[in-house]
């Protein structure tokens, strides 16, 4: 099987992930922070080590500012729902995943917030007139993706963070398609929140994700969930200190064990090496698909930065039939709207039902890319 659905979840996982998870289940049966016996202490140490490893990998200076979640969606909800107040104005981009848009639309309907969308082109460049109009409204929060899960377009994140930061607007970033795929320093980005999954670029297990809180954060979000933390048990109020403020309930310890193994693997491999490898494969894929007659390749032109995500459509050909044919040829892709209707409207693919999406991971090879292009060529020829 040629697996090119890494934007949904990476496969295979990093070496050692499965073994680490099995070892936790077999050997460390304790509940972290809930007792002083050996297995509970060992479980606490595992959680601590996982937090330290991921924080170091993504550039979070103090590991306690890295909050574990079950995925990027939960992390985004924690930031968005925890910050937005009735009547607030929230800015976002036209390339968003429903992990951002659905919480915002719910807040719009239930709490009366106003959602202002700045348009981005296929390269990820925001419309300057939209940004000026939004700045004039003095938004209370800005939340946007770092890279589109549909077109692979990479937004000018540093410029946008600086733009909103100059106006004192808190910024929340969705790093789902970039974290783990390239070197990033969360603290250097200057955003107030960075949300990302553990199961995509970080090559860890599903059911893992993180919310990184910025240094010197002004207003703290209200916790999404409250309950037992194993700390401050004499109080019936949620602890205010990090990370316990946002980590009520027993954590996903097996997931943390797998994420620790994955983080150590990526640290040894080097994220710059990951970036260069995936960039070369992405260029090869774009070049191969662009040469097929009748195929429209969406996203940034050659020479522009892009994530390892490539979407295509073939005129009026059925996306479902193409995806089924690719599956028969053992090429795994995703077709449709990719939980991102706003992004498809933005690039003009919504009316056609979306695109066929190829997404690259660290373990793909040149042979995978060439095999996928050859499969597409054969399908189009039919």
Buried b (16+ CB within 10 A) or exposed e, 116-149: bbbebebbbebbeebbeebbeeebbbbbbbbbbb
- How far apart CA 138 and CA 266 sit, in angstroms, is 40
The CATH class, in words, for 2-11+270-381 is: alpha beta
**pLDDT tens per residue across span 144-200:** 999 999 999 999 999 999 999 999 999 999 999 999 999 999 999 999 999 999 999
On the 0-12 / 13-18 / 19+ scale of CB atoms within 10 A, 109 is exposed
Q: What percent of the chain has pLDDT over 90?
A: 95
Q: How confident is the model at residue 316 (pLDDT cuts 50, 70, 90)?
A: confident
Q: How confident is the model at residue 217 (pLDDT cuts 50, 70, 90)?
A: confident
Q: How confident is the model at residue 276 (pLDDT cuts 50, 70, 90)?
A: very high
Residue range 302-313: average pLDDT?
A: 95
Report pLDDT for 311. 98
Report pLDDT for 315. 87
Task: Tell me the pLDDT of the chain averaged across its residues.
Answer: 97
Q: How confident is the model at residue 306 (pLDDT cuts 50, 70, 90)?
A: very high
Q: Does pLDDT of 303 surpass 90?
A: no
> What is the topology classification, in CATH, of domain 17-268?
3.40.640
Backbone angles phi, psi at 306, to 5 degrees: -150, 155
On the 0-12 / 13-18 / 19+ scale of CB atoms within 10 A, 190 is middle
Indicate where the chain has its CATH 3.40.640.10 domain(s): 17-268
**pLDDT tens per residue across span 225-258:** 999 999 999 999 999 999 999 999 999 999 999 9
Q: Does pLDDT of 63 surpass 90?
A: yes
- How far apart CA 76 and CA 115 sit, in angstroms, is 16
- How far apart CA 86 and CA 218 sit, in angstroms, is 19
């Amino acid at each position: 099987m040629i697996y090119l659905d890494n934007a949904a979840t990476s496969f295979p996982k990093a070496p050692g992930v499965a073994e680490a998870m099995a070892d936790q289940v077999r050997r460390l049966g304790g509940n972290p922070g809930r007792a002083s016996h050996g297995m509970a202490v060992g479980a606490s140490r595992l959680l601590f080590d996982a937090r330290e490893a991921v924080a170091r990998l993504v550039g979070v200076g103090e590991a306690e500012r890295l909050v574990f979640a079950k995925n990027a969606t939960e992390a985004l909800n924690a930031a968005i729902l925890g910050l937005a107040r009735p009547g607030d104005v929230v800015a976002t981009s036209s390339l968003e995943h429903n992990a951002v848009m659905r919480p915002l639309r719910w807040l719009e309907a239930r709490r009366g917030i106003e959602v202002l969308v700045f348009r981005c082109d296929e390269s990820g460049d925001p419309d300057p007139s939209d940004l000026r109009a939004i700045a004039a409204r003095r938004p209370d929060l800005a939340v946007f993706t770092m890279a589109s899960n549909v077109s692979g377009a990479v937004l000018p994140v540093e410029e946008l963070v600086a733009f909103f930061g100059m106006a004192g607007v808190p910024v929340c970033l969705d790093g789902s398609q970039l974290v783990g795929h390239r070197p990033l320093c969360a603290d250097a980005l200057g955003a107030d929140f960075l949300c990302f999954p553990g199961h995509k670029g970080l090559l860890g297990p599903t059911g893992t994700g993180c919310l990184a809180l910025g240094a010197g954060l002004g207003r703290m979000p209200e916790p999404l969930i409250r309950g037992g933390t194993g700390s401050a048990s004499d109080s019936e109020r949620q602890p205010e200190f990090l990370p316990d403020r946002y980590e009520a309930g027993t954590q996903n310890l097996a997931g943390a064990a797998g994420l620790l193994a994955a983080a150590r693997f990526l640290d040894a491999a080097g994220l710059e090496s990951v970036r260069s490898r995936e960039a070369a494969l992405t260029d090869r894929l774009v070049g191969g698909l662009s040469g097929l007659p009748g195929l429209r390749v969406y996203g940034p032109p050659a020479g522009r930065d892009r994530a390892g995500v490539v979407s295509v459509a073939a005129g009026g050909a059925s996306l479902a039939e193409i995806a089924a044919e690719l599956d028969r040829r053992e090429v795994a892709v995703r077709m449709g709207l990719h939980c991102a209707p706003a992004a498809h409207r933005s690039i003009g693919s919504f009316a056609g039902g979306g695109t066929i999406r190829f997404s690259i991971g660290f373990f793909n090879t040149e042979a995978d890319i060439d095999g996928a292009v050859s499969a597409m060529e054969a399908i189009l020829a039919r």
